[in-house]
Structure 1
Amino acid sequence: MQATTNIAALLLSAFLISGAAIGQDDDQWTDLFNGEDTTGWSNPYEWGEINVVDGEIHLTASKKFFLVTDKKYDDFVFEGEVMIPEGQANSGFMFRCHSEKNKVYGYQAECDGSDRRWSGGLYDESRRGWIWPSIKGRTKEAKFLEHAEESQAYFKKPEVAGALDRNGWNKYRITCQGDSLKIEVNGVVTTEIEDDTDASGFIAIQHHGEKGQTYRFRNLRIKELKPQS
């Protein structure tokens, strides 16, 4: 009886420790969007309509623009969801990016609504262009990791689990630690490379400029990581 009691106590203790660890992990996340207004975000452009509707950020415009966080981030895990409109559409999440008047540039996790299906690729906005998966114009600085072939297969086979939902919400997860950059779309790793162009910058969400179209974003949050030793 005593042994059974001790085992039960140990199991309960392990459960409580596990639960505390999970709670602690959750506490490390910071919401970038409060669901009510765009506090913590700025529009560096002279155009672009921004509305908060039912806990979502809606971007509408006739020219490309980005809504940018007020804070810069170094090493982190970012998560966000995007729904692109019907018809011609393209969007993305900028990270470690830079902002000037009427211009945002830097790393972008692609959200590609075209038949090309390069969602989850890495694009260097207003700078070097496609880094991955493009072959033409690929930057020589990028050091590709071992799973590159699997990532490329994802782009070629949109029917695989985790592929972009053209008519629904898509969850992006971006991890930056040092020179390592990883992009996941709906739970599938699509890009994982090493690139040392930017070590810090803003997070931003994109309207690609299709006239009258509205892009929707929600559940934007970030967990800052300690620098690698």
Structure 2
Amino acid sequence: MKKLTVLSVVSLCMSLSVQAADWTSLFNGKDLSNWQQLGGKAKFTIDNGVIVGESKSGEPNSFLTTKQDYSDFIFETEIKIDAGLNSGIQFRSQSLTDYNNGRVHGYQMEIDTSDRKWSGGVFEEAKRGWLYAVTRNEACQNAFNLDVWNHYRVEAIHNRIRTWVNKVACADVLDNQEGYQSGFIAFQVHSIKNKNLEGTKVRFRNPRILTEDLHNNHWYTPSEVQEINYLPNQLSAKQQSEGWTLLWDGKTTNGWKGTKLKDFPQKGWDIDNGELVIYSSGGGSTRNGGDIVTLQEFSEFELEVDFKITAGANSGIKYFVDPNLLKEKGAAIGLEFQILDDKKHPDAKKGHKGNRTIGSLYDLIPARNLSELTRSTKRVNSIGDWNRARIVVKGNRVEHWLNNIKVVEYPRGSQIFKTLVQHSKYAKWPNFGQREKGPIILQDHGDEVRFRSIKVRSL
């Protein structure tokens, strides 16, 4: 008897699942009677049983949408696209007269022909932007093949979204965005800026959907595929199994105190509907409630913090803080993930080559987009929207991530690091940033900033 490999067993299970499922075809191969076009006027035609979208210069994103809405489902189709063109599959999407004059918005599974290789990622069209850029999923980045047919699969079950490209697991998202429990499915032809791309095409065939018995037909997602959780102040079952804990419970001040106090500050800081808020005091550092610090200390760790800034705001997340420095006055001293409104706060133009901008290792290393080879600018969400900071410390290697984009990496304690310190405002403190462990600090810099979903795990 032929020996079955693990991969062949998984493939067999997938095959049996598909055969047993009661799929519904969304395209009859002849006409688009079950579909309608929204947005731009790129051309959609039928060619030998294939839906063909053709790019058109000067047009905004164009969408061929189902007339029916779907809530929980598994959707599959096959994709073939010309080089240079961008596209996507919208799902749980909407077009509402009271939102941007009917602009299509909602979840999208990316079809990407660029060098960044983000096919299979999850984007929120016309709202939050990238929810899951596949920056940490190399297998998915290599799954898509240009100029051939690619198999796409989306599972949207309750608040979990998972995607596959050519049976390679790509995205795993937990999200509870209000209003996105149901919506249409759509094929996108992206707008083009390069007129040389006029007439390039994306092709779709065999679109089908499953709306019943989903739990018995969903596919396995390997544990190494990162889950991104957007549920405020909640840990998923997977995160708990991976050792994550909430540094802030969303309700109390447990686990925190003022950096120069025995207890939590009595003014300046507040808890507002699941958000930890430092209110404005006119821009002066530590003049309101002062910085707050964890009671726990950390050495090798992964930290995630969601933050929302007001216009012109300045704040930061500090780590490897030395509690013995500046006990009497001033801000606590430690390595800092800078939080800043780069457009309006003057600190963005100070320091050296942008090393005081958002995501930077403050006054030492400027934040840059290290996840997209063809894009130098960071992906920063608008004022009033949530951004996500991620700090990873493993051995002497440290990384800063902003909205799932790596923006800083450096070897803590190396000669390069020490040289940077000697040319910074921290030069007067011996062994700055080289402590074996230290607490985490959220900074009061005199501006209103909100935090939530503060979580950490030891590495």
Q: TM-score range by the shorter chain?
A: 0.7 to 0.9
- For the pair 1:95 / 2:77, whether they are aligned, the reply is no
Q: 1:25 aligns with which of 20, 26, 43?
A: 20
C-alpha distance after superposition, 1:79-110 (max 9, x if no partner):
01111113x11111111011246621110000
Q: 2:38 aligns with which of 36, 44, 51?
A: 44
- For the pair 1:121 / 2:121, whether they are aligned, the reply is yes
Give 1:168's aligned residue. 148
Give 2:253's aligned residue. none
Q: Which has the higher contact order (CA 8 A, sep 6+)?
A: 1
Deviation at 1:209, TM superposition (A): 2.4
Give the Cα separation in 2 of the matches to 1:83 and 1:46. 21
Deviation at 1:41, TM superposition (A): 0.4
Give 1:220's aligned residue. 207
| Equivalent position amino acid for 1:219 in 2 | N
| Equivalent position amino acid for 1:98 in 2 | Q
Following superposition of structure 1 onto structure 2, how do residues 191-206 of structure 1 map, counting pairs within 5 Å? 191-197=171-177, 198-206=180-188
| Equivalent position amino acid for 2:69 in 1 | K
Give 2:161's aligned residue. 181
Query: TM-score if structure 2 supplies the norm length?
Result: 0.38
* Contact map agreement 1:82 1:170 (CA 8 A) in 2: yes
Give 1:10's aligned residue. none
* Contact map agreement 2:74 2:214 (CA 8 A) in 1: no
* Contact map agreement 1:172 1:185 (CA 8 A) in 2: yes
| Equivalent position amino acid for 2:107 in 1 | Y
* Contact map agreement 2:122 2:132 (CA 8 A) in 1: yes
Give the Cα separation in 1 of the matches to 2:155 and 2:70. 11
Q: Which moved more, 1:120-129 or 1:91-100?
A: 91-100
C-alpha distance after superposition, 1:164-203 (max 9, x if no partner):
0111111111001100110000001100121111211110
Quickly say closer, same or farther: Cα 1:72–1:55, change in 2 above 3 A: same
How many residues align structurally? Answer: 186
Structure 1's unaligned 5+ residue stretches are: 1-20, 136-148
Deviation at 1:120, TM superposition (A): 0.4
| Equivalent position amino acid for 1:225 in 2 | E
- Cα RMSD, aligned residues only: 2.3
Give 1:154's aligned residue. 139
Deviation at 1:226, TM superposition (A): 5.7
Q: 1:71 aligns with which of 65, 68, 73?
A: 68
Q: Percent identity among equivalent residues?
A: 36
Decide which structure has greater strand share.
1
Q: Which moved more, 1:177-186 or 1:42-51?
A: 42-51
C-alpha distance after superposition, 1:9-30 (max 9, x if no partner):
xxxxxxxxxxxx979834x111
Decide which structure has greater helix share.
1
- State the SS of the aligned residue for 2:32: coil
Give the Cα separation in 2 of the matches to 1:208 and 1:165. 19
Give 1:58's aligned residue. 52
- State the SS of the aligned residue for 1:206: strand
Following superposition of structure 1 onto structure 2, how do residues 4-15 of structure 1 map, counting pairs within 5 Å? none
Give the Cα separation in 1 of the matches to 2:205 and 2:106. 22
